[in-house]
Amino acid sequence: PFTSTNLISMAKRLFDISMSLLALGVFALPMILIALLIKFKEHHPILFKQERLGIHKQPFLIFKFQTLVNEEATPIGKVLRRTGLDELPQFINVLKGEMSIVGPRALTASDIKRLGWDNEFHSQRWKVLPGITGLAQLYGGRHRKLSWFWDTYYLHNQTLPIDLGIIFFSFLVNFFGKRSVRKLLPPLTSTHNT
């Protein structure tokens, strides 16, 4: 049956496709330059591919620019990680319907087990597509409880204005870095107790 939830889901999907095509157009030249630098200056594979769990814990292959060699960040990799530019290939995952632009971070099966999120209580996190960016990524949810707070905050408060705000600040990260942008982030108030 056609419901308001389905309508919201369709609108978000159209938004994701439109924004991904726009982003790939805007970042096409930087992506080509990054790929050339990785290939000819650092001489290692351009893309990092890893199995992650998406909506309903369905596995998919995530794409990023390769930033680590032998578990060490390369010089180019350090810049890409600091600015979030290593995430640009994930717009391909969005176009494939495996990710959304905004949502909880895509985790590996071992991440989920390590965090203790492999139980019924935490299953709500996998009712939405994982995102390239999200509140935990922006606000720095490095610890398990903080990450869970931001993920569930988003699940219960997601709206177009919040998505647009997250995208705007994530875009700034590409130019000014995560630390600088985090100082500009507004405090959020919840409409749901997590």
Name the nearest CA neighbour of 181 among 168, 193, 164: 168
Q: Would you write out the chain's pLDDT as a tens digit for each of its 194 residues? A: 667 677 878 889 999 999 999 999 999 999 999 999 999 999 999 999 999 999 999 999 999 999 999 999 999 999 999 888 999 999 999 999 999 999 999 999 999 999 999 999 999 999 999 999 999 888 876 678 888 999 999 999 888 888 999 999 988 988 888 888 888 888 765 544 44
Backbone angles phi, psi at 17, to 5 degrees: -65, -45
Name the nearest CA neighbour of 148 among 116, 170, 182, 179: 116
Name every residue whose Cβ is closer than 8 Å to that of residue 150 and which is 6 or more positions away in sequence. 134, 135, 136, 139, 141
Sign (positive or negative) of CA dihedral 70, 75, 77, 82: positive
